[in-house]
Amino acid sequence: MNEKEEQRMYKEDMIYSAEGAPADEPARQFVFTEKCRELVLKKERETGRRLTFFIQTFGCQMNARDSEKLAGILTRIGFEPAEDEAADLVLYNTCTVRDNANQRVYGRLGHLNSLKKKNPDMLIALCGCMMQEESVIEKIRQSYRFVDIVFGTHNIFKLAELLYEKLTRRDRVIDIWQETDRIVEELPAERKYPFKSGVNIMFGCNNFCSYCIVPYVRGRERSRRPDDILEEIRALVADGVIEVMLLGQNVNSYGKTLDTPITFAELLRRIERIEGLKRIRFMTSHPKDLSDELIEVMANSRKICRHLHFPLQSGSTRLLKIMNRRYSKEQYLAMTERLKSRIPDLSLTTDIIVGFPGETEEDFEETLDVVRKVRYDSAFTFLYSKRTGTPAAVMEEQIPKEVAQARFDRLLKEVQEISAEVCGKDVGKILPVLVESVDERDASLMTGRLSNNIMVHFPGNPEQIGTIVDVRLNESHGFYYMGESTQR
């Protein structure tokens, strides 16, 4: 018996012999999973049907990866996935990075309330970043009494225990942790795609950009141990995964706080050596921590995708300072130059905030200037959203909505024009495409992604899903190509 099997046996022993639940994680959760499973089976015998769950993700890729873990736990408990909110358990994994993310959650909750009136046994659960805000919890306590389970970002691994509590205690369960230094490994996960997966390499954020709420709701930066990451990726590859997306709020600072520090570039070198893994992506790269070592590893890699998401936020050095981004316009431009010269086929994408407090017309022009110089493949543009508790929320000179909106429209137009030109540059080439799905609008077409993350549609068959095929790029439509497979 090898060490891993021994560990597994040990866990199973604990489940079957446990009188009370053990304090160790994740062993404790395996016990609650079993306890919940019995209750679910009982309910299934009563109703004569399987119980279902539905999870809606409102936030970023990290939020989405959390949802896969939550789905993994619910699946182990015995729930089946449902297509929509007409389910026995509905879980909203929320986001609070901008106010519109919050508003969407409140809007949808109204709809859930009406569904629950038809099915009083329905369970409604909320988790994710919004739940780490006190004002939100207060509002839910007062005005959303039909919500059964509420938890935050630090204790998603506890879902089985919280569900058990709810099912046996009847009144609602609210469990929010302010902070945590633990990382619970080895939770089950149900992946959305069999052939690709997100992999957390770190949690939290220490950067405190002055507009951003993430450090407050995700806690301090914690890196996972490289061996745990490598082991997870090897297991994913053994299970059919060929592409991984390494996730962290600032992957470029990965490993700095480990007992034995290692760099992100070194982690990438080790991941590259995993046999069977074909593509490596990562996000997000904070410009202040981009190293020459990383650029070299990317340039020399056969697996790291030709795409870097490189958030600018603003092109004005003055505003960048107030945003606490810790790089200047000139430094940012110099980095993109170096990236492009070392990795000529690299596609650059970015995030930009418009209407940050005190933003002048000159500041905004600086942003446009960077956009014109870098020529991004695409850019996510956001209207500044005031987040209570962040330094920017109390800054004077909040920008009037109309001014911000007008700048936003100008920026968007610029970004789109450039992107249509940049994205078409590979017309005529034959490039590898990872086939992801049948095209949503035309079932004779397949949809996949180039290494640089641009979508390609081409005639094919569903058997190609999850494989990499060579496709000739015939036409560019700005954000995607139409092509034809050169393999028969």
Site string for ligand SAH, 331-370 (x = CB under 6 A): --------------------x-x-----------------
CB 253 within 8 A of CB 231: no
Q: How far apart are CA 162 and CA 195, in angstroms?
A: 31
Contacts of 102 (CB under 8 A, 6+ apart): 94, 95, 96, 130, 136
> Can you name the residues that pair with 476 across neighbouring β-strands?
481
| Contact call for residue 387 and ligand SAH (CB under 6 A) | yes
- Residue whose C-alpha is closest to residue 76's, from 171, 186, 150: 186
Instruction: Show the site string, 268-307: x = touches ligand SF4 by CB under 6 A, - = not.
Output: ------------------x---------------------
| Calpha distance 198→417 (Å, rounded) | 31
Report what 351 binds from ligand SAH, ligand SF4, ligand F3S, none; CB cut-off 5-8 Å by kind: ligand SAH
User: Is residue 109 within the footprint of ligand SAH (CB under 6 A)?
Assistant: no
Shortest Cβ 210–ligand SAH spacing (Å): 9
Binding string, residues 202-241; x marks residues near ligand SF4 by CB under 6 A: ---x-xxx--x-xx--------------------------
Picked from ligand SF4, ligand SAH, ligand F3S, none, the partner binding residue 476 (CB below 5 to 8 A depending on kind) is none
Q: Is 212 in the site for ligand F3S (CB under 6 A)?
A: no
**Of 105, 122, 129, 265, the one binding ligand F3S by CB under 6 A:** 129
Nearest to 338 by CA among 368, 379, 310: 310
**What count of Cα atoms within 13 Å lies in the side-chain half-sphere of residue 316?**
18
Using DSSP's 3-state secondary structure scheme, residue 86 falls into: coil
Tokens of 328: 């200047």
Residues 292, 300 contacting (CB under 8 angstroms): no
Starting at the edge strand that comes first in sequence, how are the strands of the sheet with 279-283 ordered?
Answer: 196-200, 243-247, 279-283
Shorter beta-carbon distance to ligand SAH: residue 213 or 242:
213
Nearer to ligand SAH, 250 or 347 (CB): 250
> Applying CB under 6 A, which of residues 36, 89, 95, 434 lies at the interface with ligand F3S?
95
Q: Look at residue 125 and give its three-state secondary structure.
A: strand
Least Cα distance to 218 among 147, 284, 307 occurs for 284
**101 interacts with ligand SAH by CB under 6 A:** no
The tokens of 105 are what?
């959650």
Which residue, 60 or 149, is less far from ligand SAH as judged by CB?
60
Among 33, 57, 197, 385, binds ligand SAH (CB under 6 A): 385
By CB under 6 A, name the binding residues for ligand SAH: 97-98, 211-212, 214, 249-250, 284, 286, 311, 313, 351, 353, 382, 384-385, 387
By CB under 6 A, name the binding residues for ligand F3S: 59-60, 62-63, 95-97, 128-129, 214, 217-218
